[in-house]
Homo-oligomer: A and B are copies of this chain.
Amino acid sequence: MLSEVPDTVLADGLKQIQREVDSAFDAFLPVPADSRARLVEAMRYGAIGGGKRVRPLLVVATAELFGVDRDVAVRAGCALEAIHVYSLIHDDLPCMDDDDLRHGKLTLHKKFDEATAVLAGDSLHDLAFEILSDVETSGDPFTRAELILTLAKASGMNGMAGGQMMDMMADDADYDLHAITRLQQLKTGALLAASVEVGAILGKVAPEGRAHLRAYARDIGLAFQIADDLLDHDGDEAKAGKALRKDDEQGKQTFVTLMGPEGAREQAKALSEQAVGHLASYGEDAALLRALARYIVERDR
């Protein structure tokens, strides 16, 4: 029986990565002395503060299994986070989900304007690739191309954006559990899986050595989304920092409508424990990844 990480270790891990990511974005985004200032201010508004930083923590926690330099892993984690943040900014737009609040503050198009939100999202999208093409890979440039390809695939039409499109088509398509699972594997799962993958790539793990980590990532990806659906169903708006109950209002199929709240809660826990099981071969070193798998289904925001 592996010893458990106390909650404070996870809490400290989250606090540390949040500090590191904020500090890295601060350095990536100096405000220029010309009229681009508004764009960079908007990027900073979206990227600094507020997020849980689950994706960078996944990168760092996976990379540290293989002794990767923490600074390198944090930088790569910022690339994943930049993609995540850009997608939230675009998803919040009036023509998409039309949300006014995110992380307890005004969404970017509410604080600035829609055009600035489109451009700030686009520029964070570029920043992600700029960061990765500059990441230190100990003189192994093949690694860099693999990192970038992994991120581009997870983010584009066969990943996050594809899942978002399937989500937009949900009203007409009347999805069943199989279709919702596929949709969420793309919309949320692809970028979470890419976070673990990027950690393994930085650790020079060959693709054939990544099976357990990929299985872990697949399970937490699904567990994460089920937990999200549960939060939307019965969470606290003040804690979540955004509008909830939108799925219900729109009559959308979710894991909760398809499995019931109790079934969904059990399924999320089972996936989380299954994810933990995939880490057995990594022993104590994977304590943080295990704690993350449990946090993902127990979080209140």
Binding site for B on A (CB under 8 A): 29, 32, 34-36, 38-40, 43, 86-87, 90, 93, 95-96, 113-116, 118-119, 121-123, 125-127, 129-130, 132-134, 141-142, 144-146, 148-149, 151-153, 155-159, 161-162, 164-166, 168-169, 173, 182
Contacts and interface: CB of A to CB of B under 8 A. Distances in A.
Given A95-B115, A125-B122, A145-B144, A36 B165 contact: yes
A204 to B, nearest CB: 14
A161 B123 contact: yes
A188 B257 CA distance: 49
Contacts of A34: 166, 182
24 contacts: A34-B166, A34-B182, A35-B169, A36-B162, A39-B157, A39-B165, A87-B122, A93-B115, A95-B115, A95-B118, A96-B115, A119-B161, A119-B168, A122-B155, A122-B161, A125-B126, A125-B156, A126-B152, A126-B157, A129-B151, A132-B148, A133-B145, A141-B142, A141-B144
Chain A interface main SS type: helix
A133 B144 CA distance: 9
B130 A118 contact: no
A123 B157 contact: yes
Given A29-B157, A39-B161, 6 more contacts: A32-B162, A35-B169, A116-B168, A126-B152, A133-B145, A134-B145
A149 B127 contact: no
Given A40-B157, A156-B127, A169-B35, A148 B162 contact: no
